[in-house]
Amino acid sequence: MAVETISLTHTYAVGTAFEFTAIKGVTFKTLAHEFIGIIGHTGSGKSTLIQHLNKLLTPTSGSVIVNGFDLSDKKMPMKEIVKRVGIVFQYPEYQLFEETVYKDIAFGPTNLGFSKSETDFLVREAMDFVSLDFEKLKDESPFDLSGGQKRRVAIAGVLAMKPQILVLDEPASGLDPVGREGILRSIRRMNKEIGISIFLVSHNMDDVAEYCDRVMVFSKGELLLFESPNEVFAHADLLESIGLEVPQAKKVLLMLKERGFSVDASFYTCDEAVAEIARCLRQAKPC
């Protein structure tokens, strides 16, 4: 599903001493099935933006259009919106509340009015997608699981609602390297196999470089760039000036280039960088 915003602005606590405009005049248009990355310094308005995508926040001015429907339209009930746009918040494990993993994941689909057998199918499918063993874990209490497993259960709880747009606010923060890769891989699979559009908020440039089709760069509530990772990471100086950096792999290439190696520094994923360095070394060393 495509998402569009038109000069979207949000001001918190209007009319008090604490008034603060968190996002200003944000306009963009995404395509269906796209994997979008959202990066920006802490406090730049990323979480504020994503809460507009399922009407948890209403714009102070401007509008949000999801799949051609203006969300400010009163005729669109909240249930219809959350059915299409699923949001996984920062540290989603804090939203678990049921006695068993199964019941917790089934909460969303049940609210949306799916039947028992449909819900059962959806729960199995969602658990499978985030690599949780259905038979082993369905009757466990979610509070007895490890941090990474809780995170997966929470993500499965949103996935089970079959959203066509999935928004994730730092889904991998605070996990070990294996855990973070597992979760990000699952997200990519949802994108590639079922065609869910993804919005991924991340502080990790390597993840963004690896997974995203296009990247939004926010600074102080404004959308500075919205381009492919290749183009975004070409603006190394700009990124640095707003408190961000380029992926590690690209950093290495840039440093090598600075020291006089003839590498092409436009690559930004780890695999590409390795290949490029190997090529350069082979070329430099006369056999």
Partner 1 sequence: MNDITVGQYYPVDSPMHRLDPRTKLKGVFLYVMGLFFVNNLYGYGIAFILLCVCVACSKVPISYVLRSLKPILMVIVFTSIINLVWTQGNVVWQMGFIKITDSGISLAANMAARLVLIITGSSLLTLTTTTVALTDGIEMLLRKVPLLSKVSHEIGMMMSIALSFIPTLTEELDRIVKAQKSRGADFESGNIAARAKAMIPILVPLFVSAIQRASELAMAMESRCYTGGTNRTRMKELKYRPADHLSMTCLVAALAACYFTKALV
- Residue 271 has what DSSP assignment? H
Q: Does 46 bind ligand ATP (CB under 6 A)?
A: yes
Minimal distance in Å, beta carbon 40 to ligand ATP?
A: 5
- Residue 47 makes contact with Mg ion by CB under 5 A: yes
Taken in order 182, 185, 187, 193, the sign of the CA dihedral is negative
Q: Looking only at residues 25 through 44 of this chain, which bind ligand ATP when binding is defined by CB under 6 A?
A: 40, 42-44
Rule CB under 6 A: say whether 20 interacts with ligand ATP: yes
User: Which of positions 48-67 make contact with ligand ATP (CB under 6 A)?
Assistant: 48
**Binding of Mg ion by 204 (CB under 5 A):** no
Kindly provide the residue ranges of all beta strands, DSSP E only, lying in the chain, ordered along the sequence.
3-12, 20-29, 35-40, 61-66, 69-70, 85-88, 165-169, 197-201, 214-219, 222-227
**Contact (Cβ atoms closer than 8 angstroms) between residue 23 and residue 9:** yes
Residue 45 touches ligand ATP, criterion: CB under 6 A: yes
Phi and psi at residue 263, in whole multiples of 5°? -95, 155
DSSP 64-79: EEETTEETT-TTS-HH
Contact footprint for partner 1 (CB under 8 A): 13, 16-18, 51, 54, 56, 78-79, 82-83, 86-87, 89, 92, 94-97, 107-108, 111-112, 143, 157-158, 161
- Structure tokens, 181: 């890769």
Which one of 3-11, 45-53, 91-99, 181-189 is the stretch in contact with Mg ion (CB under 5 A)?
Answer: 45-53
> Which residues contact ligand ATP (rule: CB under 6 A)?
12-13, 20, 22, 40, 42-48
> Which residues contact Mg ion (rule: CB under 5 A)?
47
